[in-house]
Amino acid sequence: MMRPLARLLIVIPLCGVLVAGLLSAAWLVLGPPTPAKGAIWFQLTQFGDTEYSSAPSEPFFFLALGTDARSSADRGLGDAIHVIGVNPAARQATILNVPRDTTAPSGDKINAYHSLQGLSGMVDELNAMMGIEIRYAVSTNFFNLTAMVDQIGGIDVNVPYEFSDDDSGAFFQPGVQHLTGDQVLRYSRDRKDWVDGDVTRTANQAHIIISALATLRAQNPGDAGAFRLVAILARHVQMHNVDVVGLWRLGRLALSIDPATIKNITIPVGGGSGSNLSVGGGAQELFADFADDGIVQG
């Protein structure tokens, strides 16, 4: 059974593209803060060369990954998996959610590859599965993320249906609500309310991602508000092979995308051996559409 803290994926695009971009700008204007001065909330990694060090004009792909790691020495399973395609020209994006039990191209469950081969191993499997090249990744083990959500003021979420689950502590009625960090955790953990378990849960996690971007965008914080957000997060991030100026430009790009247009799609899965789920019918057409320009047309 997945550890409770591994069931949450919150504000990842915020952490990866938007927040990391604002962080980068603050470093340039205010000078670099003490890296990782506080508890580490997340890591930002760029793969490949520095081709996208400036704002990309071509579609690119971004992995948002939550693990069940309990310490920095523990890789953990990659249990919350969201691949985000961004099309700068169209100012649109699509999130493809991958259930944790999906069988990867190399044969094991997709969530195992982070534990076996690290972040690069997970990226390799997803690239092979979807026919893409993931350029950026955010990974987190979720310690202190509830505090982060609280420090940015919470997230406005339009809850689509009733949640009532004793195990996760998720009890919500449909409608727009302002969720605290603890409530976001509960919302994103709930899988027992749904017949298909993690398949619905992963879509709910992506809904939180979109809601987080919408909440920040609606605040229209300007530079002063952005730098305040950066100041909070700068003490809690580790960056790997990331171009600071490029991330600032990516952050500006993220703010230009209307969250209402972001598509939230969970890949089709079928049966399998034990709890392994096969990639379902229609997936290859979906992946081809996604790989073509970063957005799903259908």
- Mean of the per-residue pLDDT values of the chain: 81
pLDDT band of residue 224 (cuts 50, 70, 90) is low
Residue 145: what pLDDT?
A: 67
Place of tokens 């309310």: 193
The lowest-confidence range among 156-160, 178-182, 268-272 is: 268-272
Q: Is the pLDDT of residue 70 over 80?
A: no
Name residue, tokens 């302002």: 178
pLDDT for the residue numbered 30:
44
pLDDT digits (tens, 9 = 90+) for 77-106: 888 899 999 999 999 999 999 999 999 999
Find the range with the poorest average confidence among 14-18, 81-85, 148-152, 241-245: 14-18
> How would residue 239 be classed by pLDDT, with cut points 50, 70 and 90?
confident
pLDDT of residue 199: 93
Percentage with pLDDT > 90 across the chain: 48
What is the per-residue pLDDT for 210? 94
Q: Going by CATH, does the domain composed of 4-151+222-293 fall within 3.40.50.300? A: no
- Please report which confidence band the pLDDT of residue 17 belongs to, taking 50, 70 and 90 as the band edges: very low
Summarised one tens digit per residue, pLDDT across range 241-255 is: 875 555 566 667 787
What pLDDT sits at residue 150?
84
Query: What are the pLDDT digits (tens) for 20-68?
Result: 444 444 444 444 544 455 567 778 888 876 554 455 678 999 999 988 7
> What does pTM read for this prediction?
0.84
**Residue 217: predicted pLDDT:** 85
Q: What is the pLDDT of residue 247?
A: 59
Separation between Cα atoms, residue 103 and residue 107, nearest integer Å = 6
Whether the per-residue pLDDT at 137 is higher than 70: the answer is yes
Note the pLDDT of residue 21.
46
